Structure 1
Amino acid sequence: MCIVFLYVGSDDADNEYKLILISNRDEFYDRPAQNMGPWEEDVNIYGGRDLQTGCEGGTWLALSTCHKKVGLLLNLPGVHKDNAKSRGKIVENYVKSDLELNTYVDSMKEYFQECNEFVLVAVEFGNPVPIVQTYNNGNNELKQWHDQYLGFSNSLPDQPLTKVVAGKCKLQDACNKYKKINDKDQLIEELINVLKSEESNLPDPQLEQRRPLIFKELSSIFVRIPKARYGTRAHTIILLSKTGEMHIIELSMESPIDPLRPSWVRGDFKVNI
């Protein structure tokens, strides 16, 4: 279970940011992973890496400063397919290529249909107005989104969970409060508070149907299920100014993870686009 919120500020003359993306990665605490950073084989790509055996070093979120795109994968809980293909390379292959999303999806469609269900969130930020699209292999739908504030999680993109609706409002409050680059530190602090929100967002019939045993624990933006050793273990923030300055921040729980008293490691990367 993961979640992502986006703000597209190109048409907001008062805001100095072109794009803001914030995301939580929810995963088992003991699953090995590499923290956000430039990749050895291509320093223009920034992302974490899944080090679980059999996952081929794939990733859940990555961005390419060369191809000017971000990819993020969200799980769709449902029936697991027999001998399902790994989803670990979906984001990696997308950000490494110069293909637009529709062409990439066409080239991978047969492979996608052999994977367990997912939503791919894709952002192409080289345009004056960033292009935000989603593709899900559940109903094979590719859609472009034009809203200023967007949110996606572990449901079909046009059927948002209650916590997604709540998180979009929190993001809007933060973006309205801190619009200038000089206020970036305060903005980052506010965005981290959004990602750390443990407020329950119920009722949510869809979440209860998809995850009936733990829907209460999953109803908050920040997830913590100590008995299952599962929860939010990384926050990612991407800020892109209208002058082309990109700031990537990741806060990750340091292993071995104690969910009740976690130690957080922060990574900061600044790039001119």
Structure 2
Amino acid sequence: MCILFIYNAFDDHESDYSLIIASNRDEYYDRATKNMCSWEEHPHVYGGRDMEASCQGTWLAYSTLQNKVGVLLNLPGVKKVNAKSRGKIVADYVANNLTTNSYIQTIQNYVQDCNEFILVAIEFRNTKPMIQSYNNATNELEKWDEACVGFSNSLPNKPLKKVDEGKRKMKEICEDHKQLKNKKMLVEKLIDLLKWEEKHLPDLELQKKKPNDYHWFSSIYVAIPPVRYGTRTHTVMLVTKTGHVDLIEITLQSPVDISKPEWERCHFQFNMKHDNEM
């Protein structure tokens, strides 16, 4: 169970930013994970890695070469026998130079053997970001033009209550801290959002997805100590209209001590190059 918020400020002439991302990855504390880094086989790709998957896929990655971001969110449902890796989809998407539309066409056979998921894909082929989502449950590819969008573990047209509440707060944060001089406060407020523990109930959609333990998953920040599961990674990405990128990851360090958790922070900075600059 994960969550993602995206604020598209490109058309806000008072904002110094074109795009702002805030995301949580929820996972079992003991699942082997590598912190965000540049990948040896694709040095232009930055992302964490799932070390227990044979393909060492990812839940979120950014390519400085392709100017693409990919984020994966699982959809709870029936588990397929010998299901293929969903994390491979994000890794392959950001590493290649295909548009989102073309990439989705190439993976049609592969995704039939995957458990259900949502891929959120962001392209910066021009200065304006393009946000799209694809899910293999309904085989729909959608484009999102709203200023603020959110995704979690339900179909985009059936958002969880915590997504709606998070979008409201995300919008307020991004509108209140839209100038570069307020970047430090913007990052702090986004991390506060990702650590928000308030339960957003009742939520009938969440109850359908998680009938026995929905209350654990009703907050943006998830913590389920009895099964050693919860939010392990916060990711914040800021993209200015001049193409400067701040990519920040805050990760719960392993082995996880629930009574005294330790978090490690890494911060990468880039300057985007667009097609007409290459």
Question: How would you bin the TM-score normalised by the shorter chain?
Answer: over 0.9
Q: Secondary structure at the match of 2:267?
A: strand
Q: Secondary structure at the match of 1:184?
A: helix
Residue 138 (structure 1) aligns with: 137
1:43 CA drift (Å)? 2.0
Q: Secondary structure at the match of 1:42?
A: coil
Provide the rounded CA distance (Å) in 2 between the counterparts of 1:148 and 1:124: 16
The answer on whether the counterparts of 1:62 and 1:95 sit within 8 Å (CA) in structure 2 is yes
Residue 249 (structure 1) aligns with: 248
Residue 167 (structure 1) aligns with: 166
| Unmatched 5+ stretches in structure 1 | none
1:266 CA drift (Å)? 0.2
Q: What letter corresponds to residue 5 of structure 1 in structure 2?
A: F
1:28 CA drift (Å)? 0.2
Q: What letter corresponds to residue 263 of structure 2 in structure 1?
A: W
Q: What letter corresponds to residue 174 of structure 1 in structure 2?
A: I
- CA deviations 1:83-132 (Å, max 9, x no partner) are 21121210000001111111111111011011100000000023232100
Residue 275 (structure 2) aligns with: none
Residue 6 (structure 1) aligns with: 6
1:10-49 map, 5 Å: 10-49=10-49
Q: What letter corresponds to residue 23 of structure 1 in structure 2?
A: S
Provide the rounded CA distance (Å) in 2 between the counterparts of 1:139 and 1:196: 31
Q: Secondary structure at the match of 2:107?
A: helix
1:1-273 map, 5 Å: 1-52=1-52, 54-273=53-272
Residue 276 (structure 2) aligns with: none
Provide the rounded CA distance (Å) in 1 between the counterparts of 2:248 and 2:21: 10
Q: What letter corresponds to residue 125 of structure 1 in structure 2?
A: F
Q: Secondary structure at the match of 1:26?
A: strand
Q: What letter corresponds to residue 115 of structure 1 in structure 2?
A: C
Q: Secondary structure at the match of 2:109?
A: helix
Provide the rounded CA distance (Å) in 1 between the counterparts of 2:203 and 2:31: 28
Provide the rounded CA distance (Å) in 2 between the counterparts of 1:201 and 1:55: 36
Q: What letter corresponds to residue 44 of structure 2 in structure 1?
A: N
The CA RMSD over aligned residues, in Å, is 0.9
The answer on whether the counterparts of 1:224 and 1:259 sit within 8 Å (CA) in structure 2 is no
- TM-score of the two chains, using structure 1 as the length reference: 0.98
- TM-score of the two chains, using structure 2 as the length reference: 0.96
Which moved further from structure 2: 54-63 or 230-239?
A: 54-63
The answer on whether the counterparts of 1:59 and 1:88 sit within 8 Å (CA) in structure 2 is yes
Provide the rounded CA distance (Å) in 2 between the counterparts of 1:130 and 1:57: 27
- CA deviations 1:47-100 (Å, max 9, x no partner) are 000001x43211111010111100011000001112211212100000011111
Q: What letter corresponds to residue 40 of structure 1 in structure 2?
A: E
- CA deviations 1:117-166 (Å, max 9, x no partner) are 00000000232321000000001001001100000000001111000000
| Unmatched 5+ stretches in structure 2 | 273-278
Matched positions, count: 272
1:233 CA drift (Å)? 0.5
